[in-house]
Structure 1
Amino acid sequence: MAVVAVLDPIADSAMALLRRHVEVLPPPAASWPERADGIVVRASPVGAAAILTASRLRVIGKHGVGTDNIDLEAVAQRQVVVAKTPAANADAVAELAIGFMLALLRRVAWHDRGIRIQASSAAPPVGRELKGARLGLLGFGAIGQRVARIARMGFEAEVAAYDPFVQPPRDLQVRMLDSASALCAQSDILSVHLPLTSETRGLVGARLLSALPQGAFVVNTGRGGVVEEVALLAALRGGRLAGAGLDVFEQEPPTAELALLEHPNVVTTPHIGASTREAMERMGRSVVEQVLDVLGVEWRREEERHA
């Protein structure tokens, strides 16, 4: 029987499916390199040393999309298959991105603090509407496209995007621009939906932030390292940006000393973009099915018999 190690918790239904067809090493499964034919991982690091010494390893199932926690050079060297779940979390992450936009435009955090402490004598800031706002999507994969649909159809926002690797669906009324700087120059809100790679690390730095219009907002539900935190804080303090919504950080969890956390116009969550019951079920089921398929486990017929 094949052995699959689960390095991080997954949905109970996905774990049950896995247990019905293979031997499972449950999380944290520290000894997986010695025994596993496949692994399922969410956020735990999967380094080169473990991959290169795992003589039986054939597949890594990534519960999610980003593979920055997996050493891909070692994966290529061992010719291990990496299975991802690119569409399973799109709704959840897109909804959080839209939620950040609404919270920033309507100054929800500012008003929440004001009511709780009742200490501000300043006039409350006047909010803005997402309707008619210029939304720029940096990255236009499954999540970016879902954000575009919600923003266009639900809020009548003007949507543009930059992604040199994606052709947008014809039914989406989105302007595709030819550079990230051109996108920033035309965006009241910049929403980041990029994976973290050597090419994207630090991409949203001082240069791109300075291209945004005065009073723009930045939302990042992609990966923390794509946005330079020092440059973002400087743009907030200098008044160029009106606020930022961050689900991801360069270091996770962020330290209590991170100055961005103290800025009154920053709204944060602890990397929960895909953390909904529905998305967890979809991602868990999808990644387990793919791992079983790569390992050659005949699971579908057995599942049908017991349905």
Structure 2
Amino acid sequence: MASTTVVKRIFVAGHNGMVGSAIVRQLQQQDNVELVLRSRSELNLLSQADVQAFFQQEKIDQVYLAAAKVGGIIANNTYPADFIYENLMIECNIIHSAHVAGVNDLVFLGSSCIYPKLAEQPMQESALLTGTLEPTNEPYAVAKIAGIKLCESYNRQYGRNYRSVMPTNLYGENDNFHPNNSHVIPALMRRFHEAKLNNTPEVAVWGSGKPMREFLHVDDMAAASIFVANVSQETYESCTEPMLSHINVGTGVDCTIAELALTMAEVVGYQGNVTFDATKPDGAPRKLMNVDTLKRLGWSYTIELKDGLASTYKWFLAHQDDFRG
């Protein structure tokens, strides 16, 4: 008698975003997965009634909660109420509705901004709630911390298997390349690309170039999320601290902004001079994640920065018409 494969119905919330789309690409390669996806027009994640009805109807087995309202410093400063309200509502609606519908397995994706502004480097999971947050994105960070505590609380009270992963700075396919509100990698990639096209003799990078940052390719983030979702409870508990509420996801390796810029110029093929404007703010001197917990579980990153930048630039060239203006 032929064996039957048990198919898992998996809901990826935020499947059109950078991380969500990467998770979808990897789950699509698995034979035992049936993806359940809904666009914003099909499912309003801010509506408790709509989300509860969705979970009751769809019989979901596993959830990846990658949906979030995200933005840069300007957006966070301009719309703090939107950032805290929308992220809190999305998390509460999905996590609670998943529980009510009997979903036992869920992965919540957070952000490294949950840690105190002056957290000791590299940042360990235990640094959570030990100091003051960075003021510019505090509302967003508070919402993400609430998501972690939601998962932790449903685990404690109901025995659920809701796990939280906190990524370092991400980049890759489907990133935001907007000239005014993108993060450092897509911003630099677009600037060097346009400088190459226009034969601009010099590109000035904001700051001294001395701050150090850690970067993880989004495909590695997706792989780590799926790994954490499916590692056995026995292994999870044996490799994590008692009552650990979340797991850092990163490379454990950082580089200076100057090193990043020079590597970016090489990847893009920009031949001009790269300078640094030290009159512009540097931000925090270092932001690095301690990834020892993830390594104990058995996962490490695979995509080196230069290789990841090269594949991202290839994707950017294929989609650059989407980034005009």
- The two structures have a TM-score, normalised by structure 1, of 0.33
TM-score by length of 2: 0.31
Q: Which has the larger Rg?
A: 1
